[in-house]
Amino acid sequence: MSFNNTFCSSPWFHMRITNSGTYEPCRWMAKDGGTRVDFARNIKTVSPQTYFQNYMSELRTELLQGNAPAICNDCRGMEQHGKPSGRQRQLLKVGVQDKYFEKSLASSPFRSAFDYSDRNQGNTTCTVTDWQIDLGNYCNGACVFCGPENSSTLATEFKRIGLIDQIPPASWCDDPELLDQFVTDLTQSPNLQYLHFLGGETVITPGFKKILSALVNAGLAKNISIGFTTNLTVWSDSVVELLTQFQQVHLGMSVETLTPVNDYVRYPSQQPRTQELLDRWTALGHKQGWLIQLRITPTCLTVHELTTVYDYAWQHSTAVESCNFIDRPEFFRIGVLPDHQRELASITLRSWIDAHPVGDHDRIVNTRDPNMAQEQIVQDARSYLNYLESAEDESSRLPDLVVYLKRLESSRGNSILTYLPQYEDILRSAGY
Amino acid sequence: MKTYSDLQDIDPHINIRINLRPVGRPTTWIKVNHDLIGYTGLSDNIQLDYRVGLLDNITISVELSNKHYTTEYETAIIIDNITVDNIELIPKYDYLAEYINDHDNNDPTSYLGFNGKWTLTFDRPFYHWLHEHSGQGWLIG
């Protein structure tokens, strides 16, 4: 694999704090295949800057030497299917474009930082500019493909129906002292530019509001951009008021389909309310000049109705994007669909793409460019068409899917067949 | 490139190519960063090549002079193309050029029909400029 397919700039300006307070080098880090999370390095034991400058040196060295670390596997998977990866996005933030890789790298504003690390065993004098801050699992939603580590509602339900023995431990940001300590680190951090928050549902998570307020009160908001995703079940005037004081906001709105299937998958959403909040957040985003996106997590239950989201996005010139192809739980992967259903989904998607022609353009890595929203939507649709046509056949996992759905439905009193009657044959044959 | 260290072997210059097409016999001055790279009473198409440092700011100017409007009504110089490292910039980015002329007609164009000066400025290293103007989002640092 060539250097331009492995090198990533992210460890020179980005890091993540997870729900447990453990640090990780990357928000896109692969969750299997060699992930090396050092649980000893967390907010209780070491400052973020020390972790970033010292403990991430090995990763920087690997990248400078042209190696392909296992923790970067997810990005390689996305690139394979024509989806812009985290690696490509992070390179773009320091001016490195795939198409002009060598010259743009040689003239990158981070060139001297790369040179320094190359001479100093991966060490750096850079500081974190771009954070992913995981705020814990405080969430009013219980999406079927989510897990207890990301939804407190699901955690409670899982415990009640015996899918887990214990609910996940409290998040680091539920500890007022740790939160204060982190806020102090942030406000004293030079060159802070972007904070991306992940829940749970960020809008109702107390830590989100507290961090935003602290940055506003410290007079830093006008130089910082905020990114977050809402599940389209809540609205908060006070959070909106805080957000409007920041330099820029990257707003993600999670939705899987604009049909009742969304209610089953993003339980307990209700379609009219989802639509109302989608319209409201979209209108606010356009009014404020925010960069807005519809965030999807296509699964075997939703991929055939994906075009309803693309339609809305096309009409509102709003980008659509998933962070990744879903990996866990394995039985929600698109490859679980039998050939016939995959073919039907492919036909729908191909027809949609054919009906929405866009001009020739280079591959869009800056997926938030509002001037390229429609081209980006088609690019996203093409990546899913490619995935549908080439993903490994995992239909042997259908019985696992059925077992899991029946367990959830016993708690929720609903049935997948109410929403997806066309799946009756394949689900029945797998034990539904 | 196999490792980052191989970056040292990369040519630290960018290559500018300018293609001009005359209408009539225009007197034309072509400069890059105050260096005169072409001066001619053009009668044929001309291609000019020039190299500047990768991190240099760049100003490209094309100036038409001595046109007599009463006798040379059609005389003009057309900028067919400007490329940097084979990346085509004109006509895509001609709206970013400044065109000062004796008719105060300053609309974006690559057809220079008046006595005056057309200037395209890269006020930062070329690839940073391209990043911004091709909609690649924010640039850290």
Q: State the complex-level ipTM.
A: 0.93
Tell whether B8 lies on the interface with A, counting CB pairs under 8 A. no
Tell me the chain B residues in contact with residue A94 when contact means C-beta distances shorter than 8 Å. Answer: 139-141
Nearest by CB to A193, which of B3, B10, B140? B140
Nearest to B54 among A103, A366, A368 (CB): A103
Q: Do A371 and B135 touch (CB under 8 A)?
A: yes
A95, B127: Cβ pair inside 8 Å?
A: yes
pLDDT tens digits along B77-119: 999 999 999 999 998 999 999 999 999 999 999 999 999 999 9
Across the interface, which of B5, B87, B136 has its CB nearest the CB of A118?
B5
pLDDT at A33 over 50: no
Helix (H) or strand (E) holding A341: helix A339-355
The pLDDT of residue A238: 98
Range A225-249 burial, b when 16+ CB lie within 10 A, else e? bbbbbbbbbbeeeebeebbeebebb
**A319 with A250: CB under 8 angstroms?**
no
Q: SS3 for A99?
A: helix
What average pLDDT does the structure give for chain A?
A: 94
pLDDT of residue A208: 97
What are the tens digits of pLDDT across the range A154-189? 999 999 999 999 999 999 999 999 999 999 999 999
Contact B131 A7 (CB under 8 A): no
- Tell me if A398 sits within 8 A of A340, measured CB to CB: no
Q: Quickly state the pLDDT bin for A326 (edges 50, 70, 90).
A: confident
Q: Which two tokens stand for residue B9?
A: 């072997």
- The pLDDT-based confidence of A345 (bands split at 50, 70, 90) is very high
Measured between alpha carbons, how far is residue A319 from residues A80, A128, A364, B21, B63 in Å?
21, 27, 11, 41, 43
CA distance A278 to chain B (A): 25
The whole model's pTM is what? 0.91
CA B35 to chain A, closest CA, distance in angstroms equals: 23
- Specify the pLDDT at position B2: 92
The pLDDT of residue A209: 97
Comparing CB atoms, the residue among B55, B127, B135 nearest residue A100 is B127
When mean pLDDT is compared over A91-105, A360-374, B35-49, the highest value belongs to A91-105
Q: Is B140–A106 a contact, with Cβ atoms under 8 angstroms apart?
A: no
Q: Is residue A283 pLDDT above 70, yes or no?
A: yes
pLDDT reported for residue A10: 98
Chain B, 39 to 58: residues with Cβ < 8 Å from chain A are 54-55
The reply to whether residue B139 touches residue A94, judged by beta carbons under 8 angstroms, is yes
Residues B94 and B43 sit within 8 Å (Cβ to Cβ)? no
Residue A323: φ, ψ to 5°: -65, -35
Give the pLDDT mean for A42-57: 94
Asked if the model's pLDDT at residue A397 lies above 70, the reply is: yes
Residue with tokens 């046509």: A389
Interface of B with A in 82-141 (CB under 8 A): 85, 87, 125-128, 130-131, 135-141
Please provide the distance, in angstroms rounded to a whole number, between the alpha carbons at the two ends of chain B.
24
Using a CB-CB cut-off of 8 Å, the residues of chain A touching B140 are: 13, 93-94, 109-110, 129-130, 193
Q: Using a CB-CB distance cutoff of 8 angstroms, which residues of chain B are in contact with residue A366?
A: 135-137
**Are A107 and B126 in contact (CB < 8 Å)?**
yes
Cα gap A385→A44, rounded to integer Å: 45
Give the minimum alpha-carbon distance from A13 to chain B in angstroms, rounded to a whole number.
9
Strand pairing report for A194-198 and B111-112: unpaired
